[in-house]
Structure 1
């Protein structure tokens, strides 16, 4: 094959089969368990937003896809990499999702969004050190669209419970606990914990299970697959409209649950929403 034909074939291949974005390496949380010494952690509110990494030039999702924020939104951001959450307000996830998914950003919508940062990728020192650096960086940047999320300490589990109750009463999601002495870490690690009144997770839709009785002709349940490969039927939490037009196969759905069985499956799982692609 000639050099020119080889080049043309390469261009065609990249056009038809584009290189998929590489997901950034980020820290993921385990679920909080009672009995820990909470004084060893810094606590922050868990925001129901969209995780985003600033690579010094652009925002990318946790899957590595570019987030098309307006130029003015990130204009004052530093060249230093950041990890955080795009957020509007409590209870505004759907509006945020619609805004962030736009390939042509709408200025009026993005003016409601703030990038709350909580980690400095690959930075040295303990998490306490990095949290302090983030506060200084946010002050220096002085952008209304970039803020360091508030980190604080609690003295015992009773104080932690009161804080959680206060956040939830204001329609917040829950709390995050990050070991104050932890170095920068990636992957799922017990250095980061999430505490919510009700647990949630995501799973991939594998198939639609036909309904019975009053749901004949509609979806009765979703067969979903967890990240570890375990599958289970998700059959509650749906409206009649969602059963008539269920989440498509291949989509990611968010569900709540109370506990995990001995086999690793969620107890009392209930559908919440389709998780939009990031």
Structure 2
């Protein structure tokens, strides 16, 4: 699809063209209950990639910082806002993270990166309609670096569990469930749920707890606080390098956990990564 034809197609959707500054805050997922019924949702694989927002002219991290993508990669993207993930495939997050954080992109690395699109931030109608529009849009783009995230309808909880088991067995993280009837929503919302064998969340680092024994002189644990005000310590999941140079106080980190105590404290919490490094 040529750019002029694409512009006419987008105009028919009521989508503004050109620079799209001031995009709304992206939608963030909540954890799905284990008993979730998938009816009314579109289900996709949860990609372990880097969230990337395209505003029509620049590709940006969730923080708003510009991603230094090669010109040929940017040239494949259409003149309308997109939301998705940069992805190198399953179990490739560390390699991807290093590639997209470079101030000078390396073509050899970016040839392995795709942009997996799952939302039209300025689109109209319910999510099921927007998902169909994304699929049609991507089909008309030149180049192979842009893909529409596959969305499935699953009939019941048994089908959802089977799909989750299959994705995890193949090296995937889990599933995303997006309400099919949802309009574009900003911020963290239960219209978008994530389903994983273990749950994850984010917290702010309050303090560094010194290590003891074999961790003497290094980080022992992070004292963190959740958005709900719950304080607890993260003491596992760190690499040797992270114990020598831990995430700074005030930074946001992601962690995994199994469930919550009655007081809302995560059980068996383990450090995952710095959440706001992008």
Counterpart-to-counterpart distance in 1, 2:163 and 2:268: 26
Partner of 1:85: 85
Spell out, residue by residue over 1:109-166, the C-alpha distance to the aligned partner (whole angstroms, 9 max, x if none): 1111100000011211111100000000001113211100000111111111111011
Counterpart-to-counterpart distance in 1, 2:76 and 2:242: 42
Matched, 1:200 2:178: no
Counterpart-to-counterpart distance in 1, 2:41 and 2:88: 26
Spell out, residue by residue over 1:164-193, the C-alpha distance to the aligned partner (whole angstroms, 9 max, x if none): 011001110000001111111111111111
Counterpart-to-counterpart distance in 2, 1:238 and 1:23: 35
Equivalent residues in 2 for 1:167-186, closer than 5 Å: 167-186=167-186
Would the aligned equivalents of 2:222 and 2:235 in 1 still touch at CA under 8 Å? yes
Counterpart-to-counterpart distance in 1, 2:110 and 2:94: 14
Matched positions, count? 258
SS in 2 for 1:29: strand
Would the aligned equivalents of 1:138 and 1:147 in 2 still touch at CA under 8 Å? yes
C-alpha distance 122-234 of structure 1, shift in aligned 2 (>3 A): same
Note the C-alpha offset of 1:95.
0.7
Partner of 2:75: 75
Would the aligned equivalents of 2:53 and 2:81 in 1 still touch at CA under 8 Å? yes
Would the aligned equivalents of 2:236 and 2:270 in 1 still touch at CA under 8 Å? yes
Note the C-alpha offset of 1:239.
4.4
Equivalent residues in 2 for 1:3-22, closer than 5 Å: none
Partner of 1:163: 163
Partner of 1:254: 254
Would the aligned equivalents of 1:87 and 1:115 in 2 still touch at CA under 8 Å? yes
Partner of 1:27: 27
Q: Mark the structure with the bigger radius of gyration.
A: 1
Counterpart-to-counterpart distance in 1, 2:52 and 2:175: 18
Would the aligned equivalents of 1:219 and 1:243 in 2 still touch at CA under 8 Å? yes
Would the aligned equivalents of 2:254 and 2:272 in 1 still touch at CA under 8 Å? yes
Would the aligned equivalents of 1:203 and 1:225 in 2 still touch at CA under 8 Å? yes
Note the C-alpha offset of 1:57.
0.5
- Unpaired runs of 5+ residues, structure 1, are 1-20
Per the normalisation by structure 1, the TM-score is 0.86
Counterpart-to-counterpart distance in 2, 1:124 and 1:22: 17
Partner of 2:41: 41
Per the normalisation by structure 2, the TM-score is 0.86
SS in 2 for 1:39: coil
Partner of 1:7: none
